[in-house]
Amino acid sequence: MQIGLGFWASKTLLSAIELELFTELAKHPENLDAIQGRLGLHERSARDFLDALVALGMLERKDGTYQNTPSTDLFLDKAKPSYIGGILEMANHRLYPFWGGLTEALRTGKPQNETRHGQEPIFETLYADPARLREFLSAMTGVSHGGNMKIARAFPWADYSTFADIGTAQGDLVVQIAEANPHLTGIGFDLPVVEPIFEEYAARSSAADRIRFEGGDFFERGLPKADVLLMGHILHDWGLTDKRMLITKAYDALPEGGALIVYEALIDDDRRANAFGLLMSLNMLIETDSGFDYTGADCQGWMADAGFRESRVEHLIGPDSMVIGIK
Ligand X SMILES: C[S@@+](CC[C@H](N)C(=O)[O-])C[C@H]1O[C@@H](n2cnc3c(N)ncnc32)[C@H](O)[C@@H]1O
Q: Is 194 in the site for ligand X (CB under 6 A)?
A: yes
Binding segment for ligand X among 232-240, 241-249, 282-290, 296-304 (CB under 6 A)? 232-240
Q: Which phi and psi angles does 163 have, rounded to 5°?
A: -150, 160
Among 48, 120, 124, 217, binds ligand X (CB under 6 A): 217
* Residue at 9: amino acid letter: A
Contact in structure between 217 and 230 (CB atoms under 8 Å): no
Q: Which is nearer to ligand X, 114 or 237 (CB)?
A: 237
Contact in structure between 14 and 72 (CB atoms under 8 Å): no
Q: Which is nearer to ligand X, 59 or 122 (CB)?
A: 122
**Least separation, in Å, of the C-beta of 7 and ligand X?**
24
**Least separation, in Å, of the C-beta of 285 and ligand X?**
15
Q: Which is nearer to ligand X, 29 or 216 (CB)?
A: 216
Beta bridge mates, 211 = 186
Among 22, 218, 292, 294, binds ligand X (CB under 6 A): 218
Scan residues 249-278 and list those touching ligand X (CB under 6 A).
Answer: none
Phi-psi region of 307 (alpha: psi -120 to 50; beta: other; left: phi over 0): left
The catalytically annotated residue of 93, 145, 233, 236 is: 236
Beta bridge mates, 323 = 262, 313
Q: Maximum distance among all alpha carbons in the chain? A: 66
Secondary structure of 134-165 in the HEC alphabet? HHHHHHHHHHHHHHHHHHHHHCCHHHCCEEEE
Closest by Cα among 215, 146, 156 to 183: 156
Task: Please indicate whether residue 117 is annotated as part of the active site.
Answer: no
Q: Which is nearer to ligand X, 189 or 251 (CB)?
A: 189
Q: Is 234 in the site for ligand X (CB under 6 A)?
A: yes
Among 85, 86, 111, 167, binds ligand X (CB under 6 A): 167
Q: Is the dihedral of CA 297, 149, 23, 26 positive or negative?
A: positive
* Residues found in the chain: 327
**Least separation, in Å, of the C-beta of 29 and ligand X?**
33
Contact string (CB under 6 A) for ligand X, positions 3-32, x = contact:
------------------------------
Element (H, E) at 62: strand 59-62
Beta bridge mates, 321 = 264, 315
Q: Is 317 in the site for ligand X (CB under 6 A)?
A: no
Binding segment for ligand X among 18-26, 62-70, 101-109, 216-224 (CB under 6 A)? 216-224
Distance CA 225, CA 252 (A): 9
The residues of the shown chain that bind ligand X, judged by CB under 6 A, are 123, 140, 144, 167-169, 190-191, 194, 217-219, 232-234, 237
Q: Annotated catalytic sites, by residue?
A: 236
